[in-house]
Structure 1
């Protein structure tokens, strides 16, 4: 099962790439934020919904927390998704 997982932006790229560093349950990964519109104006501390390495939507913290609670309730499906995310390192952790 593939799920969208909320992640908190912890670092934005300083070059012209569409990459950002996010934290999901303490796991840090680079994700592509290029699918988001310019209206989303991302900043460190913002939350995004992540699927297969791409940020699909900017969400507020309350929505992120509600989604995380719901995902934890899925048990094994969430555990597998988090394990897949943990094992999907793309290059180095930092930007």
Structure 2
């Protein structure tokens, strides 16, 4: 199943010689990087839905919390946490 996960933008910077706008995004205690190229109007403090490392839409905080709660209920958040821990072991 492919899911877009809601997260809050913590910081924004440009990478790859300024070619790609990237953000550090907080997902319930886990911080990951994602491209903001599909949502150029997104800024620090905004909530976005992220799919495979790309923010695909901006959502309000209520929608983000509702989606995050649903993902917790169906057990998808546990998989996100486990995947994050595996990623850190690879570093």
Q: Which category describes the TM-score, using the shorter chain as reference length? A: 0.7 to 0.9
Out of 19, 22, 26, the position equivalent to 1:23 is: 26
TM-score by length of 2: 0.79
TM-score by length of 1: 0.76
- The unaligned stretches of length 5 or more in structure 2 are none
Higher relative contact order (CA 8 A, sep 6+): 1
Cα distance in 2, alignment partners of residues 24 and 42 from structure 1: 16
Larger strand proportion of the pair: 2
Identify if the C-alpha distance between structure 1 residues 87 and 57 changes in structure 2 by more than 3 Å, giving closer, same or farther. Answer: farther
Moved more, 15-24 or 64-73: 15-24
* CA drift at 1:14: 5.0
Q: CA RMSD in A?
A: 2.2
For the 8 Å contact 2:14–2:22, the answer to whether it is kept is: no
Instruction: List per-residue Cα deviations over 1:39-79 (Å, max 9, x = no partner).
Output: xx22211000011111011111010011011111102x331
Unaligned stretches of 5+ residues in structure 1: 90-95
Aligned mates of 2:5, 2:23 — CA distance in 1: 15
- Which stretch has the larger CA shift, 11-20 or 57-66? 11-20
When the two structures are aligned, how many residues end up with a matched partner? 86
